[in-house]
Structure 1
């Protein structure tokens, strides 16, 4: 009998948790997982909006979805999230550690490195790195107890691996605020990839795979000048679109990548190939 390669990508009946599920990328990730058959848990700080998206997904894709409030920087909130998911579904098969913070104070977030406030650094790290660890630790413990493995995907960033080109940011703005690549963002995303490699080797014996999905720049409120300058640095000469990341996620979540762990998958239009 010929094998079915298409079935390698199917997620029918699997339970997938997405943190930061309401974000620019998060909504696309949740939809893609649901379309491929997963029961999706939309986790975000806004529980009401998470419930609304889960209801939409369930109706559109005929899967069982759940929306839950979760602050990934708070240990008790993460523990409650995992307990609620297990109570509802009995298991967790896929974790997409996608939550990240830009900070409510954009001026502080985009402050020059020489003037960056330690308070702001710690606020961002609490979500971008501490939160990734807390969720991975808690879900990993659950996956080990289940005894049938699982897939954990971290959302990284090109700036966790590459230096930032200051020329891109001349005249560039995000929602009306002058922007750059904040040092805390680069450091936190580098930490995310390092943590993924560590957990990949630590938990491989339990059948748990851990990988990092690294997006390139995606249009999300930057002004035209930024988009022009950024596109000029990309071999494909354009910014990415959110939906272009979903194929890589499905690959990493599914059995199509069952022999892939500890890897960093760039979806960046070729930027990292320069």
Structure 2
């Protein structure tokens, strides 16, 4: 019996030397070195997408300097990576301001108000991006959907497609898809854009991967304040599978749940675990 030995690569990130696997992406090397870059379209469960371009970094390899998307580009031996040179920081700020111009005001973001600062607005704060830097575009319409679990505020959608990727590629549900092209695109479900009529299992993964306030837990959104919300790590009590969850509480009262992505279940929950497990505590 033989054991495969993977060759290690020597990579330098912002002057810090680290070792990474021969098949590692640049983003993995950046994280291994202890740095972060925004990744609005990336979910490690579905892999690299390279659509938002927020993770663009400058790399030098084999005597050539170029800008690459960290989530898609592979690391190479001797590569030097710069995550925050001034021109890249300016580039990210511009991208963020363009994205913000497609959405409603950050001051009314349902995820930021009720749960925690969403990834889009967290990045906007980090890069001092302004919502009104560019003329506002017509925001995407909110569908009329009577389902009791998932609130769909698509006026905050930035077309990152994390929700469709996680639904189709990870959960294998195929309940939502991209409809239209360019600025006219939207996220839609089959059968009159009504999730109750679709193949949706209401696992909530679209909510949990969404980097904006476009998708939230309808059962508790607007009923909690992000600053008062407390998260307690535990196990879903509904059945014997043992999926990891965080109980959400406010002022000593249980309000809802979120998946624990560090648990062996890797964030996956059924409809009962996502939207009702806290009712069995």
Which category describes the TM-score, using the shorter chain as reference length?
under 0.3
TM-score (norm 1): 0.25
TM-score (norm 2): 0.25
Q: Compare relative contact order (CA 8 Å, sep 6+) and give the higher one, 1 or 2.
A: 1
Q: Which has the higher helix share?
A: 1
Q: Which has the higher strand share?
A: 2
